[in-house]
Structure 1
């Protein structure tokens, strides 16, 4: 529970989580620190895991109550709202909070909150809803949707849970001291050294190498040997490394020549369940099976192969560049400012990079269109009318699960996708419902496993 939800409150993710964590706080605190280097703080109202961030991960963005990914505006409102709540009293109305955020937003280039603009109100309510879901604020009276519809007549009053607000944002470094987001990848106990060459030449700590590999096992869907330097590969290959994580989490490991994945059969520790219900997850599973079959099809044309490492490095560098460009320069204390330094594995220059099959977007589009034709009656109407959007979302899910890697023109097929090669599909049609009390329905279901 603590690894799946780095913040646990009285109501988030449910009412039984916090009492359980408090009961086992001492043992968990020791285990998390020893195995992962994570710090656990437990109070009467919160349990907060402070992780060590080894690399930027764009696969777990903040989401609205309707599962929409936060955009830049929503992230800005969220940050400004947390700052305003930290200075507020025990209660605050939604309009008062909006006024505080609007005043602060006016001091940041490119950010503004106009209560007269419906899109701004919707984005602000999404940010407030994210805070409410985690227990930072709780609705005492009124309705946020009423304010979003008409701020002159609608209003909402919130109680502020200060301990949760404080626990939500505790970066390892003061963000006003950083010119680059990579500074957040460095532990607060380790100073940022501007001489990156000397930094890389320092001998590695075997215990820290083990912790880094264990962190990867619980933070990533799959850990490939190619992700790691030589020390990390040796640690991942050791049975004890994986066994320690299995013992703590109850997950079961699956080893292949290319890497290791932990299988969460209960779904308690995964932010994305797969296989799962819903059109996108179903199509992603079917597409994974089709891709696996295409890779091993002896009668089809041979697929081109490309190395993953270069494309992954370029993607990481691009993410850092975009995030750094969004840092408000006016909020940095120049006298204390530092540049961050990436802490990723050092590539082995003497080992040729592994290459993976490349599947073009045209083949993916044709395959998804065929799946829509065969199973479309089981899909949500929205996706039946938008096969291109369905393909994009399904491929994004496979990318997030590290089954494929998206690149220009198509995807690289990664080894773990082979576990879905023999996917079995059955379609169940139900006869029309004759009355309100008839258990039969007109729905058609798809089962894939």
Structure 2
């Protein structure tokens, strides 16, 4: 018979891992957006805070009604992961400017716990004009500002239904305790002081890459982190499974920490949608070609266009999608997805497949993927 304390310890370990996974995927959660994760983060705050700090160099802030994981900047070799509009387009500089100005407006002393959506929009416009930040035309400015406010709602900073443009109806409720923790870039303590950043240990740099990136190529690792990967591979595997439920796979080309559940990701792949389906078909075809004698992993845009065009007429695949209406734009979207997934590296006029792309090589009947 299993002892009660053993069952409790096992249950606590599962709860900590699920909270860590949730925070890794969504670093800002509130009692309104994710009450389960906030409750678990509060119960296991000391253990989670220590784990994130020691393993990843991240700072976890846990308040009565929120949890905020302050991540470090991505490695230069990591694919960029920006915020997106509702239609999937990435935020541009103007949208990020609207987001920063909205946060600044909410932080102004004297701002109450409720704010009119119309007043907040107008304040952003006024501040942008005072600072000389162009917001573009009326339609584009509205789109950028609405996207910024929607992101603040998703984070739980604002709750309620913002009023439509030009009205003064409903208001937002402001989660004021969370506001100071939105940014992870802190101002220096005094003018003209620039603290020297502390070097990040190789073990932390490697663990961070394995947790955050779909695939880490050995060519992207410096000598110190490559040595840690070889020397501590068994300990790394244990920690990844214990902390986040990830399975470490190491091959000659590099390392992959994958999620057997397929849920710990900000980019579902394979996934629904024409771009995801096209990317899977394209990388499968290219990976198959790469196994042929003399095949070259570099792919030019013309070759990618040719392959995508060949996929278009196939029943149930890409018919009727943007690949027909605007093939060049569609190919750029597909390529961008492969780059974000670390399955490709962009270069002028095309891209180069990474070793991870071999995972999507078609398997012959009765065969296996090696």
Q: TM-score, with normalisation over the residues of structure 1?
A: 0.69
- Residue of structure 1 in register with 2:40 after alignment: 20
Change beyond 3 A, Cα 1:58–1:174: farther
Alpha-carbon contact 2:68-2:181 (below 8 Å) kept: yes
Alpha-carbon contact 1:74-1:123 (below 8 Å) kept: yes
Change beyond 3 A, Cα 1:94–1:58: farther
Task: Report 1:268-283 matches (<5 A).
Answer: 268-283=263-278
Change beyond 3 A, Cα 1:50–1:234: same
- Residue of structure 2 in register with 1:89 after alignment: 112
Aligned-pair CA distance for 1:414: 0.8
Change beyond 3 A, Cα 1:111–1:242: farther
* Structure 2 Cα separation of the partners of residues 175 and 408 of structure 1: 43
Which of the residues 196, 204, 210 maps onto 1:191?
196
Secondary structure in 2 matching 1:16: helix
Change beyond 3 A, Cα 1:258–1:26: same
Secondary structure in 2 matching 1:270: coil
Residue ranges of structure 1 left out of the alignment (5+ in a row): 184-189, 193-198, 304-356, 425-449
- Residue of structure 1 in register with 2:9 after alignment: none
Which of the residues 99, 123, 127 maps onto 2:122?
99
**1:412 pairs with 2:344:** no
Task: Report 1:158-197 matches (<5 A).
Answer: 158-174=172-188, 191-192=196-197
Change beyond 3 A, Cα 1:274–1:191: same
Residue ranges of structure 2 left out of the alignment (5+ in a row): 1-21, 365-370
Task: Report 1:82-161 matches (<5 A).
Answer: 82-87=103-108, 88-112=111-135, 117-139=138-160, 143-144=162-163, 146-147=164-165, 151=166, 153=167, 155-161=169-175
- Residue of structure 1 in register with 2:5 after alignment: none
Secondary structure in 1 matching 2:61: strand
Which of the residues 228, 236, 251 maps onto 1:235?
228
**1:289 pairs with 2:284:** yes
Alpha-carbon contact 1:286-1:423 (below 8 Å) kept: no
Change beyond 3 A, Cα 1:401–1:9: same
Alpha-carbon contact 1:101-1:113 (below 8 Å) kept: no
- Residue of structure 1 in register with 2:49 after alignment: 29
- Pairs aligned (count): 339
- Residue of structure 2 in register with 1:427 after alignment: none
- Residue of structure 2 in register with 1:74 after alignment: 95
* Structure 2 Cα separation of the partners of residues 261 and 7 of structure 1: 26
- Residue of structure 2 in register with 1:401 after alignment: 341
User: For each residue in 1:260-314, what CA deviation from the matched residue of structure 2 results, as whole angstroms up to 9, or x when unmatched?
Assistant: 111123233211111111111111111111110121223xx653xxxxxxxxxxx
Aligned-pair CA distance for 1:382: 3.7
* Structure 2 Cα separation of the partners of residues 246 and 156 of structure 1: 46
Alpha-carbon contact 1:279-1:380 (below 8 Å) kept: no
RMSD between aligned residues:
2.7
Q: TM-score, with normalisation over the residues of structure 2?
A: 0.83
Alpha-carbon contact 1:372-1:387 (below 8 Å) kept: no
Secondary structure in 1 matching 2:313: helix
User: For each residue in 1:79-114, what CA deviation from the matched residue of structure 2 results, as whole angstroms up to 9, or x when unmatched?
Assistant: 000000112211111121122212211132342477
Task: Report 1:204-353 matches (<5 A).
Answer: 208-237=201-230, 238-239=232-233, 240-298=235-293, 302-303=295-296
Change beyond 3 A, Cα 1:177–1:254: farther
